[in-house]
Structures are given as C-alpha cells and as structure tokens.
Amino acid sequence: MSEAPKNSFPPGPGGSTFAFLFGDRRRDPLAFFTKIARDYGDVSQLRLLNFRTLFINHPDDIEDVLVNKARKFEKGRVMKANMRLFGEGLLTSEGDFWLRQRRLAQPAFHRARVAAYGTTMVEYAERAMRGWNSGEVRDIHEDMMEITLQIVGKTLFNAELTRDAKEVGETMEVLLKLAADFGKSILIPLWVPTPRNLRARMGIRRIEKIIYRIIAQKRAEASDTGDLLSMLLAVQDEDGSRMTDKQLRDETITLFLAGHETTANALSWTIWLLAQNPAVEKKFFEELSGVLNGRAPNVEDMPKLTYTANILTESMRLYPPAWGMARLVKEEVEVAGYKLAPGNGVACAQWVVHRDARWFDGPEKFRPERWEGDLAKRLPRFAYFPFGGGPRQCIGNSFALMEATLILATIAQKFRFKLVEGHPVKPLASITLRPQHGIRATLEAR
Ligand code: HEM
C-alpha cells in the first residue's frame, strides 16, 4: 500500500533571495546541484526566491513529471521570464496553442526530411575547414558555433547566413547571456528600462530585422524550397488558418536558439574529450577509415558509425548540453510522495542524474564502450535524458544527432586536435552547458 502524500516539503538547502542572487547556486550551479543531491538524496526542497521547488534526482520521479503527469505542469519560471525573446515559440508556448504548433512543425523533423539535410551539414563542415591550417591554434567552440548556426540557417530557413551569421551569432550571444542571468530574468521583467533590458531589447530588434526579412523573402517566393520555414508558411490548419508573421518570428528565433548552441556544445565537448582520450580517439579514427575510407560521410553511413554514436552518447552523458530542466505546477499533483500545489516548482538536472553511480559505473569517466552492450535497455528510462522526454521532448533530437555525427566524422578525417596547455576549460551552466572560455586547440592535419 502506498503511503499518503506528504503535505510539507522535504528538507533542503533553503536560502534567501540574496543567496539565490549571489550565492553558490548562481556562481556554480553544477557544484550546487551535485552537493544537494549528495546531502539530501533523491528529493529535496530548493528555495528559489520565495518559490518552493522540489528538486528530484530519481529517474522514476523525473519520468512522472515529464511523462506520466506531464499535463499537470507547465514550463518553468526561467523559460517564462524569457518569453519576450522566444515569444510563443515551441519551447515556451503551452496548451492547445503549443500542440497545434508542434503538429505543424513536426513534418519538418520527420526522418526522411531530416535525412535530406545531411548533405548540407557535411558541406558546411567542409566549407569551414577550408579556412583551417595545420599547426594553427583555434577556438574550437567558436568554430562549432559558427558551423551549426550556418546549418540551422540553411536547413531550416534556406537562408545563406554568411552575411548575417556574424550579426545573428553575436546578438544571440548577448541575448543568451542576458537570458541566462536567471535571478535578474525572474525579478526584473524586460519592460523595465534597465541597461541590461535595453541591451536585450536592442538585440531582439536586430535579430527580428533579419528574421522578418527572411520571412518576407519566403512569402514572395511562395514555393516549398524544402526548408522548415517554407513548410511552415505553406501549412494550413484544419480550419484553413496559416501562421502569422509574428508566429513565424517566434518559431524562427526559437529554432535558431534551440538548435544552434546545443549542438555546438555537444560537438565542442566531444572534441575536447577525444583530445584527452587517445585510446578512444584511435578507435574512432579506425572506425572512420573502415567505414568511410577518406570519403565524405552521408546519412546512409550513420548506422555503421556505431562507435561514433557511442562517443556522442557518452559525451552528452558527461556534458549534457541541456544540463537541467524545470517545471511549474499547474494543478495539484503528487511527486516523489509530496503533494505539490499550483505555483510550486519541480527541477531536475541531467548533469546530476547522468553522473549518478547507481546507473553508471565510474560515472566521471569518459568510456564510450559502456554503451556497447545493453546498458541503454537496462537503465531506467530517465537515467539518461539529454533530449528531455514526454510530450515536450526535443523536436530536433534526430536532427542534432545526425548533425553532430556528420560534422564530427567530416572534421576528424582531416584534422585532429591538440589542446593548448594551460587554457582553462570550464563548463558554464548558462541556459546551455558551454565551455566558459572556449576550447583552444592546435590543429594537426591527418
Ligand atoms: C545536442 C543537441 C540538443 C539538445 C541536447 C537538446 C535538448 C533539448 C531538451 C532537453 C529539450 C526539452 C526542454 C524541456 O522539456 O523543457 C529540448 C526541446 C526543444 N528542442 Fe532541443 N536539443 C538539441 C538540439 C536541438 C535542435 C538541433 C533543434 C532544432 C533544430 C532543437 C529544437 C528544440 C525545440 C523546438 C524544443 C521544444 C520542443 C517542444 O516543447 O515542443 N533542439 N531540446
């Protein structure tokens, strides 16, 4: 017989608004969440400002929130605070409106459609490498950000962003930095004219200018050019209505942000891990020469690049680009034996769960081989969830995996990377998990 749910919250680190804004949580959220999990176990109370949030670490409880009881929740406060930027895009919208948009966008992410983007992904990786020379030192993370931005631009909007890439990239950077300042995002709404908000608003206007221009071009072309935007322009709902420019703007900004930095992070962390693990790198190179023998990879090669896939899986275990997730309770609900009321929060962190020794042997070690057996089948469903889960699961999941595999395979056939000694590589838990000071490496032609 299950116990009656508890009304009171479990113990946790507590903390004041001051601690939230200036304490450990803000300075080093990864260490903070790891410590709470160690000190309090699978469920604890987090006080974020005056909001009570249940912090959960057990995969079964996470599954309850993201899948079984998903209807009782909506997106967390940080997402909501950033609505001005994302608008009512897929990442932030809720309810029937979200469902409609998700249905409209889904065809653009169907397997066959995504497969067609493969050639573009390889082409852009090759294009970027044309400017690379053996022996030079580069910031790999900057390169990955540039490549994935160009790819999102081309595949999803059929726009050559060569001219705009720098501006979009830089502006996104500013906006993401501002958005990642969780405390301020929540406390000070964007309409308050603080210097931070004025910068954000200017950034949003710059991006909108580019995006509205791309939308106008598309409307004028009025044909399906194979990209997501033209599909979204063409689709009609059952009632015959189409998306407005504002809706298209929201979805476009969302996809630029959701689809570009996450994949770049996955690639950067993978390259960094490979450079430190010569045995893994060697096996990876052997697989590439066995399967590709020097030619460019394509989508059909993917099922054969099994070790490459395990490398990416393992890299996203240790350095999950989406490092944590949050939800807000919409209707009374029980989680981990506690009764939660509307307005309460729930949070979990891939960073913590993916490094839990109950699910992974030697959790801190980078060992792609661990995925060779039936580990994925044996694990509880939410012991590994880099793409989230349930109805709000990442729509770009296969897009991202294909992109990361193809870029990695393309680049690694031409270059290997030697890390610059003394350059600090530190994960920064911003909205995504990025290397704080980039990753500096010397290129070595292969
Ligand atoms: C390695 C790369 C990626 C990772 C780790 C990742 C991770 C995630 C996660 C964890 C969520 C769920 C957030 C939540 O439930 O609160 C999500 C949602 C989403 N992702 Fe990704 N993502 C990646 C790449 C992409 C790409 C390439 C795209 C688009 C091209 C994309 C578009 C989206 C969208 C639109 C959503 C919202 C879906 C919805 O709520 O309907 N992501 N992503």
State whether the beta carbon of 185 lies less than 6 angstroms from ligand 1: no
Pairing of strands 51-56, 345-348: parallel
The residue to mutate among 260, 394, 432, having the most atoms of ligand 1 within 8 angstroms of its beta carbon, is 394
Nearest CA to ligand 1 atom 18: 394
Average pLDDT over residues 374-394: 97
The CA 75 to ligand 1 mean position distance, Å, reads: 13
- In 3D, which of 318, 324, 314, 312 has the Cα closest to residue 65? 324
State whether the beta carbon of 190 lies less than 6 angstroms from ligand 1: no
pLDDT given at position 1? 44
The CA 444 to ligand 1 mean position distance, Å, reads: 33
- In 3D, which of 194, 156, 162, 165 has the Cα closest to residue 178? 194
The CA 386 to ligand 1 mean position distance, Å, reads: 9
What amino acid is encoded at 34 in this protein?
T
The CA 14 to ligand 1 mean position distance, Å, reads: 31
Compute the distance between CA of residue 301 and CA of residue 296 in angstroms, rounded to an integer. 10
Instruction: Give the pair of three-digit tokens for residue 270.
Output: 């993978």
Is 208 or 143 the better-scoring residue by pLDDT?
143
State whether the beta carbon of 347 lies less than 6 angstroms from ligand 1: no
The CA 29 to ligand 1 mean position distance, Å, reads: 21
Atom of ligand 1 nearest to the CA of 93: 40
The CA 18 to ligand 1 mean position distance, Å, reads: 31
Nearest CA to ligand 1 atom 11: 394
Nearest CA to ligand 1 atom 19: 394
State whether the beta carbon of 390 lies less than 6 angstroms from ligand 1: no
Question: What percentage of the chain exceeds 70 in pLDDT?
Answer: 88
pLDDT per position as a tens digit, 256-300: 888 889 999 999 999 999 999 999 999 999 999 999 999 999 999
Is 251 or 140 the better-scoring residue by pLDDT?
140
Position 162 pLDDT exceeds 80 = no
State whether the beta carbon of 322 lies less than 6 angstroms from ligand 1: yes
State whether the beta carbon of 395 lies less than 6 angstroms from ligand 1: yes
- Residue 415: phi and psi, rounded to 5, are -135, 150
pLDDT given at position 440? 97
How many residues does this entry show for the chain? 446
pLDDT confidence of 200, banded at 50, 70, 90? Answer: confident
* Lowest mean pLDDT across 65-79, 117-131, 236-250, 412-426: 236-250
The CA 262 to ligand 1 mean position distance, Å, reads: 8
Atom of ligand 1 nearest to the CA of 350: 10
Inter-residue contact 336 to 42 (CB < 8 Å): yes
Average pLDDT over residues 132-149: 95
State whether the beta carbon of 155 lies less than 6 angstroms from ligand 1: no
pLDDT given at position 20? 53
The CA 147 to ligand 1 mean position distance, Å, reads: 18
| CA 71 vs CA 328, 392, 411, 425: distances in Å | 11, 11, 43, 39
pLDDT per position as a tens digit, 296-328: 999 999 999 999 999 999 999 999 999 999 999
Instruction: Give the pair of three-digit tokens for residue 153.
Output: 């631009």
The CA 175 to ligand 1 mean position distance, Å, reads: 18
Position 18 pLDDT exceeds 80 = no
State whether the beta carbon of 407 lies less than 6 angstroms from ligand 1: no
Atom of ligand 1 nearest to the CA of 98: 41
pLDDT confidence of 230, banded at 50, 70, 90? Answer: confident
Average pLDDT over residues 119-147: 95
State whether the beta carbon of 385 lies less than 6 angstroms from ligand 1: no
State whether the beta carbon of 113 lies less than 6 angstroms from ligand 1: no
What amino acid is encoded at 284 in this protein?
F
| Averaged confidence pLDDT in the chain | 88
| CA 161 vs CA 166, 167, 214, 248: distances in Å | 8, 9, 10, 18
pLDDT per position as a tens digit, 72-105: 999 987 777 766 677 889 999 999 989 988 988 8
The residue behind tokens 């508890």 is 6
State whether the beta carbon of 392 lies less than 6 angstroms from ligand 1: yes
Instruction: Give the pair of three-digit tokens for residue 231.
Output: 């599909």
The residue behind tokens 């809720």 is 94
Nearest CA to ligand 1 atom 6: 387
The residue behind tokens 């910031």 is 139
State whether the beta carbon of 354 lies less than 6 angstroms from ligand 1: no
